[in-house]
Amino acid sequence: MHTNTYTADFTNLDAIRDFVGGFAQQAGLNSKEIYAVQLAADEACSNVIEHAYEGIVNGTFDVSCAALPGQVTILIRDHGKPFNIEKVRQPNLGKNLDEREIGGLGVFLMHKLMDEVHFESKPKEGNVLTMIKRKSGGA
Amino acid sequence: MEITTKEFKHCDVVSVNGRVDSSTSPQLAQALDKLTDDGHHNLVVDMTKLEYMSSAGFRALLAAQRNCKKFNRGEIVLCAVPERIKEALELAGFTELFKVFDDSLTAVGSF
């Protein structure tokens, strides 16, 4: 597993997408699946920067990637405020323009784009989000 | 990310180039706000050269669409949406909130 550390700054999202995209490619995922992995990682890291490190300066978080044939695993670890994505309410996509919630969309997309999304918050280790994407039709 | 705007008789075309994420979406929101503040409420967002858009960009579009549609004064339509971005917009249910055209000519002609 390879790990990069980033400061909690939105300008790092470009580098993060490139980092995870490289591993998705290495795992043999197709271009649609690679885009999905990049988008899910962006949404997850955006949440870390925006919510976990809200009001905290100089925060950093780790993004780790592992590629197996036909499968890529992304692990995002931060030491900010616990932000349990499993508790985020699912946006109601059936609602009309005026009623549509602005938030919750990133988490919704992460679940839709990835095959597995797990969140764990431990006092010593921090918040860990694990996401797995598999090549469609098996490895 | 780079944004250029071009005024037509019945609408304005906003071309968004590059990548829109949490870092660059405020620029997109600002560009759309400026147009609506200046009284332009019929907008075409041309995505021909758009490489990437996260939910931060979707939120900027949603806020601007609400603003444009207020008092029935106009609307935002999208055109030349790249395949991957269209798939994400569909997942987010956004294709029901925006008319999508194949190219800017057809989109401009719709106003």
Question: Mean pLDDT in chain B?
Answer: 97
Query: Is B2's Cβ below 8 Å from some Cβ in A?
Result: no
Q: pLDDT grade, residue A98 (50/70/90)?
A: confident
Higher pLDDT among residues A41 and A51, named by residue: A41
In this complex, do A98 and B54 lie within 8 Å of one another by their Cβ atoms?
no
Task: Provide the pLDDT for residue A81.
Answer: 86
For A10, the closest chain B residue by CA position comes to B23
Helices A105-113, A31-47: crossing angle, 10 deg rounding: 150
For B86, the closest chain A residue by CA position comes to A32
CATH of the domain at B98: 3.30.750.24
Which of A107, A34, A118 lies closest to A76 in space, CA to CA?
A: A118
Work out how many domains chain B is built from and give that number: 1
In this complex, do A46 and B92 lie within 8 Å of one another by their Cβ atoms?
no
The token pair at B43 is 């907008």
For β-strands A126-134 and B12-20, DSSP reports them as unpaired
Interface test with A, best of B1, B19, B20, B23 (most A CBs within 10 A): B23
Residue A101 contacts by C-beta under 8 Å, 6 or more apart in sequence? Answer: A89, A91, A92, A95
Average pLDDT over residues B81-96: 95
Which chain A positions have a beta carbon within 8 Å of B56's beta carbon?
46, 106
Average pLDDT over residues A6-29: 98
Neighbours of A2 (CB within 10 A): 11
The token pair at A56 is 């905290």
In this complex, do A32 and B88 lie within 8 Å of one another by their Cβ atoms?
no
In this complex, do A31 and B84 lie within 8 Å of one another by their Cβ atoms?
yes
Q: Which of B19, B91, B97 has its CB closest to that of A112?
A: B91
Average pLDDT over residues A44-65: 93
Taking only the tens place, the pLDDT of each residue in B8-61 is: 999 999 999 999 999 999 999 999 999 999 999 999 999 999 999 999 999 999
Higher pLDDT among residues B89 and A87, named by residue: B89
Average pLDDT over residues A61-75: 98
Q: pLDDT grade, residue A102 (50/70/90)?
A: low
pLDDT at A136 over 50: yes
d(C-alpha A3, C-alpha A24), whole Å: 15
The token pair at B26 is 């405020």
Paired with A63 in beta bridges are: A4, A76
pLDDT at A139 over 50: no
pLDDT at A130 over 70: yes
Range of the domain at B100: 2-109
Task: Provide the pLDDT for residue A91.
Answer: 73
pLDDT at A71 over 80: yes
Task: Provide the pLDDT for residue A100.
Answer: 73
Q: Which of A14-18, A42-46, A125-129, B65-69 has the lowest mean pLDDT?
A: A125-129
In this complex, do A39 and B97 lie within 8 Å of one another by their Cβ atoms?
no
Chain A residues with at least one Cβ partner in B under 8 Å: 10-11, 13-14, 17, 31-32, 35, 38-39, 42-43, 46, 49-50, 93-94, 97-98, 100, 102, 105-106, 108-109, 112-113
Q: Which of A27-41, A78-92, B4-18 has the lowest mean pLDDT?
A: A78-92
Domain range annotation of chain A: 2-134
Question: Mean pLDDT in chain A?
Answer: 90
Residue B88 contacts by C-beta under 8 Å, 6 or more apart in sequence? Answer: A39, A109, B53, B58
CATH 3.30.565.10 fits A2-134, yes or no: yes
